[in-house]
Structure formats: C-alpha cells, structure tokens
C-alpha cells in the first residue's frame, strides 16, 4: 500500500474545530520526506502524532534527542518546543495526525504517551495499513467527514493503548500520574469519588495506580482521599452555620454515622468533640 501513495497527502477535518469537546481531529497526512527535511524548533497548540513507516531521522524534545526509524513514532503535545529532521541518506516516510480536545490527554495517558514519554513503537501491520487506507479515502467524504475522522482517530488511539506495555518506565512519568491523581482528588473529594474513577481518569489500571501512588507519596490513593476529606472537614468545623451532617455531605459522605466513624479513626475523637475543642 505504501508504494502506491503520492509524495504528500493532507486531509483536513470538514467540521468547525472545537477543542472543548472530547476529541477533535484537525488533520491527517502522509509525507515522503525529502533528504534532511526538518521542522522547528517550534511549538504547536494541539497534539501531533507521527508514525514512521520507512526511513530514519532524529526527534528532539526537552533536551532529549531520539534516533527514530520505521515502526516508531513520536508525540508532540501542545506548547512543546520540539525539533525533528529526516535523515540525509534514508529520509522518513511518515503518516501524521493533528488533533485536540478535553479528553485527548486522558486517552494519550492510557497509551502512556505525554511530554515525558513521547516515543512509541508499533510494527507496521494490517491493522495500521487498513486504518491509513481509510484515512486516505476521507478526502472523498464531505458531509460526514468529521464523524468518520473522529472514529478513525479513536481507532488509532485504541491501537496505541493496546500496544502500550501497561507499565510506566520513567520515574518522572510516574510522578506526573500521581500528580494528576492528586489534582483529581482535590477537585472531586466532595463527590462520591472512587479509586476506580481516579484510575480511569489517569488512564491506569486501578491496582497499578495504587502501587505507583504509594511508592511516590507513601500512602495509597484511598488513604490520601480519606485524609484529604477529613482535613477539609476540620476546616469546615469552624463554620457554626454548618451541622455535622452538612459537613459530612460537603466532603462526600451521605451517611453522617460513617463520616463520624472515619473521622474518629483519623483524628482520635468524634467530630462533635473536635468542634468543641476549637
């Protein structure tokens, strides 16, 4: 299929671009690079994935330089300043996707791709060949191109997620996942938040997230969530307008008796006694 393609193809999404929806495709392309073809250093305002089908070259990001060849790819995240260059003797042939959306980072995290881990490897197989063939034919679709484009982008991300090892190799990346989990807890502690929901948001298996979280922070995600809720409850105790039940509901406990039990376990006294001691 590769030998039948012209030197360069670009297919744009036919829809109005709105990065506030879950996943928005911008464009897809295919390029047989001339010798020494280069880009940057520069940044983009959206996500940009390259998959190398032939040839070799270099990719630079965050002061790291990667030598990449056929069967590898790289992610450029919004505002990442990067540089890449095709080899002089064996230049790249690659396909690329530009996209954005409020859920894009979540899907990429599930594939363990981000600014700290921008490189992936996937053998060029029938699955990718069929996906690229469908992308080429998008140019013939007008009225529903954006819908089909989005579906094919989901297929690409699904391939990358299934291809990921399921294990985070970089310590810096582990810290990013833990930070993301903590940020989620801070924003959602007042809801009925579960560790399963946190893991889904971060894009990791629940058990694996718990292991990484405890290794980095010293406590499990559940312990962190409970302690954060109880500390927030202590802050609310200073507001005389709030009853114990009000405070319980404000931090995600519908049952005041369960709240009192957890509070006493953490603080060593009941919520009422704690409030009286203030």
Output the CA–CA distances (angstroms, integers) from residue 173 to 76, 111, 117, 167, in the order listed: 16, 12, 7, 11
Question: Within 46-170, where are the H helices?
Answer: 104-110, 126-136, 145-163
The contacts of residue 127 (CB under 8 Å, 6+ apart) are 159
pLDDT digits (tens, 9 = 90+) for 138-154: 878 778 888 888 999 99
Q: What is the pLDDT of residues 47-97, one digit of tens each?
A: 999 999 999 999 999 888 899 999 999 999 999 999 999 999 999 999 999
**CA-based Rg of the chain, rounded to a whole angstrom?**
24
* Nearest Cα residue to 80 out of 105, 38, 104, 116: 116
- Name the helix (H) or strand (E) containing 40: strand 38-42
What's the average model confidence in pLDDT over 103-114?
A: 86
- Can you tell me the distance from the alpha carbon of 111 to that of 237, in angstroms, rounded to the nearest whole number? 43
Q: What is the pLDDT of residues 191-250, one digit of tens each?
A: 988 898 888 777 677 888 899 899 999 999 999 999 999 999 999 999 999 999 999 999
Domains by residue range for the chain, with CATH? 2-163 (2.60.120.280), 171-276 (1.10.10.60)
The 3-state DSSP class for residue 181 equals helix
Q: How confident is the model at residue 34 (pLDDT cuts 50, 70, 90)?
A: very high
Residue 170, pLDDT > 50, answer yes
Could you report how far apart the first and last alpha carbons of the chain are, in Å? 74
pLDDT classification of 2: cutoffs 50, 70, 90: very low
In order of 65, 87, 236, the CA distances from 190 in angstroms are: 43, 53, 12
DSSP annotation string for 211-247? HHHHHHHSS-HHHHHHHHHHHHHHHHTT-TTS-HHHH
Mean per-residue pLDDT over the chain, rounded: 87
pLDDT 10s digits, 157-166: 999 988 875 5
CA distance 46 to 225: 32
pLDDT of residue 7: 61
Q: Does the CA dihedral 117-118-119-122 come out positive or negative? A: positive
Phi and psi, residue 74, nearest 5°: -145, 150
pLDDT confidence bin for 5, thresholds 50/70/90:
low
> What average pLDDT does this structure show over 165-192?
77
| C-alpha 89: how far from chain center | 35
For the record, the structure tokens of 215 come out as 């290794």
Give the pLDDT of residue 1: 47
pLDDT at 214: 93
Model confidence at 128: pLDDT above 80: yes
Helix/strand/coil for 126? helix
Cβ partners under 8 Å of residue 223, min gap 6 = none
pLDDT of residue 9: 63
**Mean pLDDT of all residues in 187-194:** 90
Predicted pLDDT of residue 96 = 94
In contact, 85 and 38? CB cutoff 8 Å: yes
- What's the pLDDT score for residue 62? 82
């Amino acid at each position: 299929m590769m030998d039948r393609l012209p030197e360069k193809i670009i297919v744009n999404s036919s829809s109005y671009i709105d990065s506030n929806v879950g996943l928005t495709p911008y464009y897809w392309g295919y390029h047989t690079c001339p010798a020494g073809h280069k880009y940057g250093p520069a940044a983009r305002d959206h996500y940009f994935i390259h998959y190398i089908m032939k040839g070799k070259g270099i990719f630079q990001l965050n002061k790291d330089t990667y030598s990449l060849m056929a069967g590898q790819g790289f992610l450029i995240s919004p505002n990442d300043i990067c540089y890449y260059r095709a080899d002089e003797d064996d230049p790249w042939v690659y396909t690329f996707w530009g996209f954005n959306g409020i859920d894009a980072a979540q899907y990429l995290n599930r594939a363990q791709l981000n600014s700290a881990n921008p490189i992936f490897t996937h053998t060029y197989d029938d699955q990718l060949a069929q996906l690229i063939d469908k992308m080429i034919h998008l140019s013939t679709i007008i009225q529903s191109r954006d819908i089909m484009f989005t579906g094919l982008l989901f297929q690409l991300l699904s391939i990358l997620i299934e291809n990921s090892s399921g294990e985070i190799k970089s310590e810096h990346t582990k810290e990013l996942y833990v930070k993301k989990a903590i940020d989620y807890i801070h924003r959602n502690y007042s809801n009925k938040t579960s560790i399963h929901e946190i893991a889904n948001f971060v894009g990791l298996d629940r058990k694996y997230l718990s292991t990484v979280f405890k290794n980095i922070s010293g406590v499990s995600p559940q312990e962190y969530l409970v302690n954060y809720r109880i500390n927030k409850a202590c802050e609310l105790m200073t507001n005389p307008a709030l009853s114990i039940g009000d405070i319980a509901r404000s931090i995600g406990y519908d049952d005041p008796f369960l709240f009192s039990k957890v509070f006493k376990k953490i603080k060593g006294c009941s919520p009422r006694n704690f409030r009286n001691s203030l």
